[in-house]
Amino acid sequence: MVYLLRVLCMLAFVVLAPFVGGLLSGLDRKLSARMQGRIGPHVLQPFYDLYKLLQKQILVVNRYQVMLLLSFLVMVVGTGALFFGGFDLLLVFFVLTTASMFFVLAATVTNSPYAELGAQRELIQMLSYEPMILLTAVGFFMANGSFKGVDAFTADLPAIVKLPGVFIGLVFVLTIKLRKSPFDLSTSHHAHQELVKGVTTEFSGALMGVVELAHLYETVFLLGLVSLFFISSAWWSIPLALAGALLVWFIEVLIDNTSARVKWNQMLSSAWIITAVLGGGNLLVLEIIRMLS
């Protein structure tokens, strides 16, 4: 019965995540517009944009682009499916990193100077957030005694009680992963913010639609990772997890609309400092408590 439920959760992610991600993207645009004194587009605009992109002709700069971008989409979908299926977090994060590498390769094979510059910045962003992502997996192991996400549902206390520093560090690097200011260096998630969109410069038509679809899946996965900090064996942890994920999402939107883009070295140094102080410090305290108890 447990395995059947896990399979159903994986299928639910594959089917429903684009709709949930699209609604969140639409709300993001609407909230951003309100914060800037504008009316903004309709909440369903991301679905209209995606449909329009998928209907357009594919202009391929390099024949490997299609394979690499489809691999990127499959890996992102696989990441979320494994996560919501309760699999090992190390495996989940490994697949996520592999997906990012396919994305970078798809940009570099175009031989476009703008795309290659965006790809280099994408790699710097990966160097910035990957250490914190890895510490998150280690933190869940120390808090719940297992790398498997499903084991959080049998914990006596939500992981955030033991991992407040790791949680804050993850929220910090999520700004990078969600491509929001001040860390949207490789490309912005809003088209109106720049004419040349960095790593996605040479993607057009249906290929760009594949990228946007992958980002919808990725957003839902990342918010699911945030919600895992609030999950425990208590029934009330599920609505608490949903509320926590939505609160973090709103904070990210607020930061995006109140921050100016920083340089890559500021992003890298700040992310590593947060990772070392909050993430590493939190795990060190947990280990000291374990040794003393």
* pLDDT band at 114; cut points 50, 70, 90: confident
* Residue range 41-76, pLDDT digits in tens: 999 999 999 999 999 888 788 888 999 999 999 999
Query: Average pLDDT in the 30-36 region?
Result: 92
What percent of the chain is predicted at pLDDT more than 70? Answer: 96
What is the phi-psi region of residue 99: left when phi exceeds 0, alpha when psi lies from -120 to 50, beta otherwise?
Answer: alpha
pLDDT at 187: 80
**DSSP-derived 3-state class of residue 219:** helix
Q: Which residue is listed with tokens 């997996």?
A: 137
**DSSP-derived 3-state class of residue 195:** coil
DSSP 78-113: HHHHHHHTT-BHHHHHHHHHHHHHHHHHHHHTT--H
pLDDT at 189: 64
| Cα angle 36, 264, 133; round to 5 | 90
* pLDDT band at 204; cut points 50, 70, 90: confident
For residue 126, give its domain range: 2-292
Q: Is the pLDDT of residue 185 over 70?
A: yes
**Cα separations (Å) of 123 from 50, 105, 195, 268, 286?**
26, 10, 21, 11, 31
What's the number of domains the chain is made of? 1
Enter the pTM of the model: 0.94
27: phi then psi, degrees, rounded to nearest 5: -65, -35
